[in-house]
Amino acid sequence: MATEFKLPEVGENIEKATVIRVLVNEGDTVKKEQTLVEIETDKATIEVPSTVTGKVGKIKVKEGESVPVGATLMTIAEEGEAGESRPARAEKAPKEEPPVSRKQEARRAEEQRETAAAEEAPEPEEDSRERKAAPRREARVEQLTPAARKAPPAPGQTVPASPSVRRLAREIGVDISEVEGTGPGGRISEDDVKAHARRQAGGAPRPARAAARPAVSVSADLPDFSRWGEIEAEPLNNIRRVISERLSLSWQTIPHVHHHDKADITELEELRRRRNAAIDDPARKLTVTAVLLKVLGKLLRRHPKFNASLDAANNQLILKHYCHIGVAADTERGLLVPVVRDVDRKSISELVADLHALAGRAREGKLSPEEMSGGTFTVSNLGGIGGVGFTPIINLPEVAILGVSRAAYEQVFDREGNGRVRLLLPVCLGYDHRVIDGAEAARFVREMCELLTSPFDMLFEI
Ligand code: CAO
């Protein structure tokens, strides 16, 4: 009997994935746990291991193909078996499930309730009258002005939207009950939520019907470039598509302000170089980013607002009693943001080790979706590459991000006009002005610079 090897669940709310590489051929003998295919989801590249030992029968997918969770990828005749196929036994995610906290359990229970509610939600009247009513509905939608608001659902009536769509709405401060769903039966899609957010932010016209999902959410009309020379079109991978969507959404919906400063890290850098000179293992070398994490862990405790999320729909700020910092990592596949957990409670050596491990996994394309979720603040250090400054875009649903550029020696003058050469690190805090005031941001950044300038004070304090 051949086993149908199916695409397992690979993360919360992930319904499909793209097959990047098929690592076996028909007729190959494979072992349990051997990687059969490499897939890419919106969040990560994942290796999918075999759940059985046996011989590969028919391979049913091609590289580059998008397949839904549960689709058969190939058949495998288990050792000593041949013939008809039967469903694979294991369809569990290859990732390790982290221990579930009470809060996570409560959240999952809430999502299950939301799913059930969404699925049980009565179809709007016009949908139950089937297709004949659809044209009338579209016409009505077209007539609405950008300022027109959808009537709130009647008490007891549920808004038809999946948990992931609801979560997106919450994250970007959209009241889901105000969103006009363009799916069957008025079902609300991610695109509907984003379009609503854009209209809230800038008054863009309401579309009559959701178009096919574009790869990039905002795009200009393009001329025919081939008129001027040879061209080639390179499809965007999932990670690039998600980056485009998330960043466009953040830029369009959050009123960003950027606060710039420079930290004198002359002493810190000397200390770092001295310490690293005695260490051979790259996994233990003290890095600029690890020091930034240590300082940020302390500051985010002092300034909890910077570690929060805005729940605009419910008019509240969600303050988090944990501090998980996302670190932007430059990888061949594009920007990935692994999250270092409990930064405020870790020693600098633990942060060095965590960062080294996560950055390595990011570059190898081995991060799990779990390792990239739950961040409360983000740091992006481009100093290893160069540049005098940049203005980072907030990583939704966070409210602030720190951008760090390359430290450079500059002459600094005191009141008497005496110049000294110091190593200055340019930093830029991007923050959501709905949540954080300019003076608060300036204080946050100044305190950070002072901690970086006086590393010895920092050692005593932390
Ligand atoms: N100023 C001066 N030098 C710096 C520096 C800074 N701000 N940051 C790092 N460096 C130096 C390091 O000291 C190192 O030099 P040595 O080997 O002589 O010590 C070198 O630059 C390379 O460091 P690194 O970039 O690997 O530093 P890190 O370990 O602190 O950073 C990581 C890890 C993952 C943040 C980094 O490798 C990375 O990927 N950065 C890019 C982030 C990014 O893409 N941001 C953009 C997001 S928006 O598109």
- The answer to whether residue 450 sits within a structural domain is yes
- The answer to whether residue 8 sits within a structural domain is yes
Total domains present in the chain:
3
List, chain by chain if needed, residues with CB within 6 Å of any ligand 1 atom: 287-289, 327-330, 335, 359, 380-384, 392, 404, 406-407, 425
The DSSP secondary-structure symbol of 240 reads H
What mean pLDDT is predicted for residues 61-88?
A: 77
For residue 368, give the CATH number of its domain: 3.30.559.10
User: Would you say residue 140 has pLDDT above 60?
Assistant: no
What mean pLDDT is predicted for residues 357-381?
A: 94
Do residue 283 and residue 360 come from a single domain? yes
> Is 363 exposed, middle or buried, given 0-12, 13-18 or 19+ CB atoms closer than 10 A?
middle
- The answer to whether residue 146 sits within a structural domain is no
pTM of this structure = 0.64
Q: Which of 251, 273, 381 to mutate to test the pocket of ligand 1 (most atoms within 8 A of CB)?
A: 381
Do residue 116 and residue 55 come from a single domain? no
Cα(381) to ligand 1 centroid in Å equals: 6
What does the alpha-carbon distance between residue 227 and residue 237 come to, in Å, rounded to a whole number? 26
At 286-315, the pLDDT tens digits run 999 999 999 999 999 999 999 999 999 999
- Report the SS3 class of residue 66: strand
**Residue of 196, 256, 303, 433 marked catalytic:** 433
User: Would you say residue 371 has pLDDT above 50?
Assistant: yes
Cα(404) to ligand 1 centroid in Å equals: 9
Q: Tell me if 217 sits within 8 A of 252, measured CB to CB.
A: no
For residue 190, give the CATH number of its domain: 4.10.320.10
Q: Positive or negative CA dihedral for 170, 171, 175, 181?
A: negative
> Is 328 exposed, middle or buried, given 0-12, 13-18 or 19+ CB atoms closer than 10 A?
buried
- Taking all residues of the chain, what is their mean pLDDT, rounded to a whole number? 80
- Report the SS3 class of residue 326: strand
Q: Positive or negative CA dihedral for 66, 71, 77, 83?
A: negative
CB count within 10 Å of CB 416 equals 5
At 406-443, the pLDDT tens digits run 999 999 999 999 999 999 999 999 999 999 999 999 99
The DSSP secondary-structure symbol of 161 reads B
At 275-289, the pLDDT tens digits run 999 899 999 999 999
Q: Return all residues near 126 (Cβ < 8 A) that are at least 6 apart.
A: 133, 134, 136, 137, 186
Residue 324 annotated as catalytic: no
Do residue 36 and residue 92 come from a single domain? yes
187 is in which domain, residue-wise? 100-124+159-205
Which atom of ligand 1 is the closest one to the Cα of 288? 30
- Tokens encoding 244: 């485009």
Do residue 105 and residue 92 come from a single domain? no
Q: Please indicate whether residue 226 or residue 210 has the higher confidence score (pLDDT).
A: 226
Q: Tell me if 18 sits within 8 A of 376, measured CB to CB.
A: no
User: Would you say residue 100 has pLDDT above 50?
Assistant: no
Do residue 335 and residue 405 come from a single domain? yes
- The answer to whether residue 324 sits within a structural domain is yes
